Amino acid sequence: MKIALVTDAWSPQVNGVVRTLQAITGLLAQWGHQLLVISPDQYLSMPCPSYPEIRLALASGRTVGSRIEAFAPDAVHISTEGPLGLAARRYCIARRRPFTTAYHTQFPEYVSQRTGLPASMFWSYIRWFHRPSSGVMVATESVRAQLRAHGLTQLREWSRGVDLSNFGPGIEPPDLYWDLPRPIQLYVGRVAVEKNIEAFLRSSHPGSKVVVGDGPALARMREEFPQAYFLGRQAGIELAACYAGADVFVFPSRTDTFGLVMIEALACGTPVAAYPVAGPVDILTPECGAMNQDLDRAIARALTLDSEACLAHGRTFTWEASARQFLDALVHPSKPGALAEAA
C-alpha cells in the first residue's frame, strides 16, 4: 500500500507523537508499504510561540497537495492539526479524497495551559478540523468518549506500543542511582508547563525525585526545585536504565491522551503512580498502577505493587499490534461513503 502521512510533529522534536509515528512508519516500511512522510523538517519553518522547540512549517497548500498528488497514495493520513495538517486537509477536501486523522494531544487543554484561556474556546477548532475525516484514530476509550461528546463519532482505535527489545527489567541503573536515597521516583517526558511536573516535584513522599527530559521549562524547574535531579534527554539503553532502576514512575500529566512513557516504565517492571484521568485510567490496572487525586497517596500505593505484574502488563503493548491497528483504520478512496461531509 502507498500511504501519505502528513505531520507537524517530527524529528528533531522528541515527544510521544514523534516516537509513535517513527515506530509505525519504520514497521510499515519493513512490511513492504511505500510511505511519503510530509513533515516540518522538509520546509522553512518558524518557532511556535511560547514553545520554540516546535517548528511550524511555512508550506503552502499547493506545495503539500502537489506532493500528495505526485505520490498517488492509496491512503492519506493527517496526523496533526498544525499548518501541514491544515494544508493536507484543504487539498483532500478540494479533491474529494478521503483521509483519516488522529487525536494525539488534548489540544484544547494544551493551548489553555499556555494561553490562560479556557479550553472550551478551542474545541470548535478541533470539531471543525476533524469533522471531514473519514476516521479519527484515538488511543483510549476515555478520549473516544470525550470526542463523541463533542460530536465526533467516526472514531477508530489506534493504541501504542513498546520496543520490547530495548525496554525491559534487569538493566544496570545509571551510576547516579547508587548514591540516591530510596525510593527513587522518576518522571520521563517533556519538561513543559502542560505536563504538570510541579505536582510531582512538590509531592512530599520521602526519597529522591529524578526528571528525565528536556523542554522549555527545564531551566526554571532546575532553579525552583534544586532538591530534584535533572538528567536531561535520554534515549535507548540509557533511558531504559532510568526506568528499570527506579522504584516508581510518576505520571503527573492531566492532559495526555495516552502516556507512552507509562507503558515503557511498566515494560521495565516499574509501577506507575498517576492521577485518575484519561490515559492512566485506560492503561493502568490495580496490579501495576495506583491512581489518586492525592499524588502522594498514589506514589505510596504504587510502591507496594509487584514488578512482575507490571512487567506482564507492559509487555502486552507492542508496536506490531499498533501498526496493524493503524493499517486497519486507514481509508481507501474506493471505500463507499469514505468522504465525510465537510463543514
What tens digit of pLDDT does each residue of 35-60 get? 999 999 898 766 666 556 666 676 77
| Average pLDDT value for residue range 192-203 | 94
Tell me the HSE value of 294 on the side-chain side, using a 13 A CA sphere: 6
Q: Average pLDDT for residues 140-165, to the nearest whole number?
A: 95
User: Model-level pTM?
Assistant: 0.89
Mean pLDDT confidence for 163-168: 95
Question: At 290, is the secondary structure helix, strand, or coil?
Answer: strand
User: pLDDT at residue 335 above 60?
Assistant: no
CATH numbers and ranges of domains, the chain: 2-161+320-329 (3.40.50.2000), 175-317 (3.40.50.2000)
CA 157 to chain centre: 15
With CA atoms as reference, report the closest residue to 68 among 271, 333, 324, 249.
333
Q: Which of 31-45, 66-80, 216-230, 257-271 shows the lowest mean pLDDT across its residues?
A: 31-45
Q: What is the largest CA-CA distance in the chain?
A: 62
Confidence grade of residue 257 (pLDDT, cut at 50, 70, 90): confident
State the pLDDT at residue 183.
98
- Of the listed ranges 52-56, 105-109, 116-120, 181-185, the least confidently predicted one is 52-56
- Report yes or no: 334 and 38 within 8 Å, Cβ to Cβ: no
**pLDDT the model gives residue 341:** 38
Concatenated DSSP letters of 223-258: HH-TTSEEEE---HHHHHHHHHH-SEEEE--SSBSS
Q: Looking at residue 143, what is its pLDDT?
A: 92
Q: Are 135 and 159 in contact (CB under 8 A)?
A: no
Pairing outcome for strands 184-188 and 45-48: unpaired
User: How high is the pLDDT of residue 51?
Assistant: 58
Confidence of residue 332 (pLDDT cuts 50, 70, 90): low
Contact (Cβ atoms closer than 8 angstroms) between residue 289 and residue 302: yes
Query: Which residues, including other chains, have CB under 8 Å from residue 249's CB and lie 6 or more apart?
Result: 185, 186, 187, 188, 243, 261, 262, 265, 270, 271, 272, 273
pLDDT for position 204: 97
- Pairing label, strands 272-274, 248-251: parallel
Residues 280-314 have pLDDT tens digits of: 999 999 999 999 999 999 999 999 999 999 999 99
| For the chain, percent of residues with pLDDT exceeding 90 | 79
Model confidence at 11: pLDDT above 90: no
Residue 233 three-state SS: coil
Q: Which three cell numbers stand for residue 215?
A: 523542554
Q: With 80 as the cut, is the pLDDT of residue 115 above it?
A: no
- 307-326 average pLDDT score: 97
Distance between CA 246 and CA 230 in Å, rounded? Answer: 14
In the block, residue with C-alpha cell 518557532: 47
What is the number of helices (H) and of strands (E) in the chain?
A: 14, 14
What is the model's pLDDT at position 111? 67
Provide the percentage of residues in the chain whose pLDDT is more than 70. Answer: 90
52 against 243, higher pLDDT: 243
Length of the chain measured in residues = 343
CA distance readout (Å), 221 to 16, 213, 228: 21, 12, 9
Q: How far is residue 235's CA from residue 164's CA, in Å, rounded to a whole number?
A: 14
Residue 135 pairs in a beta bridge with: 100
Contact 103, 257 (CB under 8 A): yes
Q: Give the angle 84-153-19 at the CA atoms, nearest 5°.
A: 40
